[in-house]
């Protein structure tokens, strides 16, 4: 194969990948002055101008007289070979068209714009004849800045004047107005700050990770340790090594809410804050991050899964914190798992991956067992903190009045902590007030108009909310089915209802409710968490949100309201999830110097999952779970792909599903089997009917080419949509 040149002279035939949904790389001519391989360009497409990347030599199979020229090369570092290869491989793995992969890698607005400038203001060299109070304040404010400049708004605010006062002074020359680039480099992080004194375990782990990073080769390490054992401390050492090598690092966090705490730790460790990339970042800041990452002017990025697609100049380390977290799987659009994609990208750019978790997912556990991943374990908690004592509360023997969920045993335990001025946490993994609203007269349950889902009452919002599509409506006073008045009743507990019960049982306790839908912003949540951590609450009522890595040093009791909740699903990972979640929640107790206790309310204390949670015998849990999966031939010991078909027309989806199932030749050839079609567990979402097929194959089957060949003959007409989910995590 001919080597692709790295530079194309003016007029050369080049292939440009655009972000438009076309199934090929398009031919163009290199613009005046030529262009580099990987250059970001603007090209004409029909009447429009679109963004593209120079992907290689043109194919030359398009009418040569019609080939148009690139309009211009954008002011951005060309996409490196490494990222182009990553997009190609990730696209092939997830069966995603390359154009859609490119969209993931260009998710910053205005990439094509010239370097954007903004006006800044500094002290001029004249003094106006007529001075006013306001004018004096502006000049004083600038003098206070000692030569530094401010934006118009900053200056007006600092001086307490309107912007027109500043503008007026600028006209007179008393204030100088200048243009300055908006996209500025991130502050330099200093990896040589002294680190904390590491414990033996931590030091061993840190030494190994540093050595791995110094090798400048690919490798993945599972960093396992209970919450509080210092995983973050250790991987910050790895980040330090990476920065010393002059390479960039990326830390993925599963929840934006966690970034604020992390930023503070980075600042303490490296003297400045890193770049942030997630949905809470403004569009201008996103563009700045995108550009600076490409120029190497952002050494460390902390972000959500999509930061994997940033154009790093030289990425040396990717940390996936809480690697088992289900939010790493993108569940719409391009269906990818950020953990797996991190490993893929690192293997292409000779980087190291650290997967940190107290409760790794079975896939990772199996890879560590087989030696594919290295494994480092932090066995004890930092300081004197010890793991909580875990016990079941057998709900079959507890006397509970109707519509209450806190058993007398749990109530006594909480009361005891209140008396000792210690914190307790009551955990329930259900948002809202009640999962079901039922009519006592006719039995009707209020459902969503667009989905096959019940609506969940949220008393905070005073509305019913569909957790599938987000639709809300006011809680009616009359039954929509039988018109009976005031007979609608809440059934089952949600976090809000539990808070109500707790307040009745413990009227003097200061309650804090933590649920992801109750905080307008990550900052507000951070503030609340800090308040709680410093003792601003006696009793915390929380959902899954509290299970994720927050520090509550005063907490000594965790009560799990319904430990059986996760065990009911038909989901292949139900046991694993329950195990992880329960252990994490329990890990919230006794973090500082006081021993903690975790009490799990359950109706099935002899269930194997509950028993392994209680005994703390992780290894036997993983081994048993691995056996079951091996036996069933499912991941990580077999391969799965989910096919989700949807349409507004129910007949149409089933017809397509049946046709796919009948014409399964390419799958059978490859040794794969197809199951279904069957209505999806949630058979209707946003008015679309959903049908699933499941493809199963032995490990090692080249599944993607077989899937591609299988679905290729089917044209999706009209409203029909098909999504292929490789390694599905959820089966709804
Ligand atoms: P994890 O990430 O495993 O939950 P962290 O790294 O957050 O653990 O550590 C838990 C707490 O203990 C943090 O407040 C951290 O600063 C502190 N800590 C951990 N290791 C040390 C150490 N060697 N010296 C001082 N403090 C430490
Ligand atoms: Zn809905």
Report whether pLDDT(13) > 90: yes
* Test site for ligand 1: of 227, 382, 533, most ligand atoms within 8 A of the Cβ: 382
Q: Where does residue 551 rank: exposed (0-12), middle (13-18), buried (19+ CB within 10 A)?
A: middle
Residue 554, CA atoms < 13 Å, CB-side half-sphere? 19
248 close to 294: Cβ distance less than 8 angstroms: no
Measure 451 CA to ligand 2 centroid, in angstroms. 4
Contact by Cβ (8 Å): 393, 407: yes
Is ligand 1 within 6 A of the CB of residue 202? yes
- What is the 517 CA–ligand 2 centroid distance (Å)? 17
**Cβ of residue 197 lying under 6 Å from some atom of ligand 1:** yes
Q: What is the pLDDT of residue 713?
A: 93
pLDDT, tens digit, 9 for 90 and up, residues 166-203: 999 988 888 888 887 777 888 899 999 888 889 999 99
User: Could you report the per-residue pLDDT of 373-397, keeping only the tens digit for each?
Assistant: 999 999 766 555 556 788 999 999 9
Given the CA of residue 265, which atom of ligand 1 is nearest to it?
Answer: 16
Residue 265 Cβ contacting ligand 1 at under 6 Å: no
Q: What is the pLDDT of residue 520?
A: 61
What three-state secondary structure class fits 494? coil
**C-alpha 479 – ligand 2 centre gap (Å):** 19
Cβ(221)–Cβ(353) below 8 Å: yes
Predicted confidence at residue 504, as pLDDT, reads 95
Show Cβ contacts of residue 662 under 8 Å, excluding neighbours closer than 6 positions: none
Structure tokens at 288: 């700045």
Q: Report how far ligand 1's centroid is from the alpha carbon of 625 (Å).
A: 31
691 alpha carbon – ligand 2 mean position (Å) = 17
In sequence order, what E strands does 421-529 have? Answer: 423-427, 436-439, 456-458, 463-465, 472-474, 488-491, 511-514
How far is ligand 2, taken at its centre, from the CA of residue 457, in Å?
Answer: 13
**Which of 201, 202, 203, 233 gets mutated to test ligand 1 (max ligand atoms within 8 A of its CB)?**
233
Tell me the C-alpha distance between 280 and 6, whole Å.
Answer: 37
Q: What average pLDDT does range 513-523 have in this prediction?
A: 71
pLDDT reading at 577 higher than 90: no
Q: Is the peptide bond before 636 cis (omega within 30 degrees of 0)?
A: yes
Q: Averaged over 472-493, what is the pLDDT?
A: 90
Distance from residue 684's CA to the centre of ligand 2 (Å): 8
Q: Which pair of structure tokens corresponds to residue 179?
A: 């243009």
Does the pLDDT at position 354 exceed 90?
A: yes
Catalogue the E-assigned strands of 476-554: 488-491, 511-514, 539-542
Q: Cα–Cα distance between 217 and 245 in angstroms, integer?
A: 13
Atom of ligand 1 nearest to the CA of 198: 23
Q: Say if ligand 1 is within 6 A of residue 468 CB.
A: no
Which of the pair, 185 or 519, is modelled with greater confidence?
185
Alpha-carbon distance 635 to 655, whole Å? 29
CA distance 124 to 646: 65
Rounded CA-CA distance 101/53 in Å is 12
Q: Which residues have CB less than 5 Å away from ligand 2 (the ion)?
A: 448, 450-451, 466, 468-469, 471
Chain segment 584-623, per-residue pLDDT in tens = 777 777 655 677 888 999 999 988 888 888 887 788 888 8
Across 529-534, average pLDDT: 85
Residue whose pair of structure tokens reads 């307490």 in the numeric block: 160
Percent of the chain with pLDDT over 70: 95
* Predicted pLDDT at 1: 44
Q: What is the mean pLDDT of residues 514-533?
A: 76
Cα separation, 693 vs 292, in Å, equals 43
The reported pLDDT for the residue numbered 214 is 96
Would you give the DSSP letter of residue 159? H
Residues 644 and 718: their CA atoms lie apart, in Å, by 16
Q: Does residue 228 have its Cβ closer than 6 Å to ligand 1?
A: yes
Q: Which residues contact 617 (CB under 8 A, 6 or more apart)?
A: none
- Low-confidence winner among 153-162, 579-588, 653-662 (lowest mean pLDDT): 579-588
Give the 3-state DSSP-derived string for 15-67, with helices as H, strands as E and coil as C: EEEECCCCCCCEEEECCCCCEECCCEEEEEECCEEEEEEEEEECCCCCCHHHC
Place 130 in a pLDDT band, splitting at 50, 70 and 90.
confident
């Amino acid at each position: 194969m001919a080597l692709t040149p790295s530079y194309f002279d003016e007029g050369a035939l080049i292939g440009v990948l655009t972000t438009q949904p076309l199934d090929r790389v398009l031919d163009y001519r290199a613009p005046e002055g030529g262009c580099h391989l990987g250059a970001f360009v603007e090209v004409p497409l029909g009447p429009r101008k679109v963004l593209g990347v120079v992907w290689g030599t043109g194919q030359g199979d398009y009418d040569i007289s019609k080939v148009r020229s690139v309009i211009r090369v954008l002011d951005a570092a060309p996409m490196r070979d490494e990222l182009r290869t990553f997009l190609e491989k990730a696209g092939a793995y997830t069966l995603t068209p390359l154009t859609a992969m490119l969209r993931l890698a260009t998710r910053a607005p205005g990439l094509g714009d010239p370097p954007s400038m903004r006006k800044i203001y500094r002290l001029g060299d004249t003094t106006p004849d007529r001075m006013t109070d306001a004018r004096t304040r502006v000049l004083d404010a600038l003098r206070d800045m000692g030569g530094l400049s401010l934006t118009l708004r900053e200056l007006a605010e600092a001086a307490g004047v309107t912007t027109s006062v500043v503008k007026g002074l600028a006209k007179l020359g008393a204030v100088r107005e200048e243009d300055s680039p908006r996209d500025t480099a991130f502050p330099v992080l200093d990896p040589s700050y002294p680190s904390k004194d590491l414990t033996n375990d931590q030091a061993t782990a840190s030494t190994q990770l540093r050595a791995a990073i110094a090798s400048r080769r690919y490798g993945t390490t599972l960093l396992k340790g209970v919450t509080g054992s210092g995983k973050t401390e250790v991987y910050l050492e790895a980040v330090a090594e990476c920065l010393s090598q002059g390479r960039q690092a990326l830390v993925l966090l599963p929840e934006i809410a966690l970034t604020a705490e992390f930023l503070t730790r980075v600042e303490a460790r490296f003297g400045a804050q890193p770049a942030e990339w997630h949905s809470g970042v403004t569009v201008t800041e996103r563009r700045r991050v995108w550009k600076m990452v490409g120029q190497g002017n952002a050494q460390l990025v902390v972000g959500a899964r999509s930061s994997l697609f940033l154009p790093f100049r030289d990425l040396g380390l990717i940390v996936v914190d809480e690697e088992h977290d289900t939010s790493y799987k993108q569940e719409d659009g391009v269906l990818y798992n950020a953990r797996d994609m991190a490993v893929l990208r690192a293997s292409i750019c000779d980087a190291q991956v650290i997967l940190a978790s107290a409760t790794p997912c079975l896939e990772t556990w199996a890879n560590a067992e087989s030696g594919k991943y290295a494994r480092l374990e932090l066995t004890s908690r930092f300081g004197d903190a010890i793991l909580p004592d875990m016990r079941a509360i057998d709900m079959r023997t507890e006397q509970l009045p109707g519509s209450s969920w806190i058993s007398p045993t749990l109530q006594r335990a909480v009361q005891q902590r209140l008396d000792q001025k210690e914190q307790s946490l009551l955990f329930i993994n259900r948002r809202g007030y009640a999962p079901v609203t039922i009519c006592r007269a006719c039995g009707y349950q209020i459902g969503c108009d667009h989905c096959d889902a019940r609506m969940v009452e949220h008393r905070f919002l005073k509305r019913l909310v569909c957790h599938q599509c987000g639709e809300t409506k006011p809680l009616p006073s009359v039954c929509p089915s039988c018109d009976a008045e005031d007979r609608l009743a809440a059934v089952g507990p949600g976090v809000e209802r539990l808070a109500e019960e707790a307040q009745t049982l413990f009227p003097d306790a200061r309650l804090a409710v933590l649920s992801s839908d109750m905080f307008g912003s990550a900052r507000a949540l951070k503030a609340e968490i800090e308040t709680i951590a410093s003792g601003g609450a006696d009793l915390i009522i929380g959902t899954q949100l509290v299970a994720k890595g927050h520090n509550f040093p005063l907490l000594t009791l965790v009560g799990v309201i319904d430990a059986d909740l996760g065990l009911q699903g038909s989901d292949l990972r139900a046991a694993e999830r329950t195990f992880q979640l329960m252990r994490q929640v329990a890990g919230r107790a006794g973090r500082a110097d006081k021993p903690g206790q975790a009490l799990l309310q359950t109706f099935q204390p002899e269930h194997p999952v509950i028993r392994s949670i209680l005994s703390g015998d992780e290894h036997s849990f993983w081994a048993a779970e691995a056996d079951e999966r091996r036996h069933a031939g499912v991941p990580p010991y077999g391969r799965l792909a989910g096919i989700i078909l949807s349409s507004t027309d129910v007949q149409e989806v089933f017809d397509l599903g049946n046709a796919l199932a009948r014409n399964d030749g390419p799958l059978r050839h490859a040794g794969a089997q197809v199951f279904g079609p069957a209505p999806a567990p949630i058979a209707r979402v946003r008015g679309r009917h959903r049908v699933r097929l499941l493809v199963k194959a032995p490990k090692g089957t080249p599944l993607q080419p077989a899937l591609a060949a299988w679905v290729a003959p089917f044209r999706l007409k009209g409203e029909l949509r098909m999504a292929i989910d490789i390694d599905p995590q959820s089966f709804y």
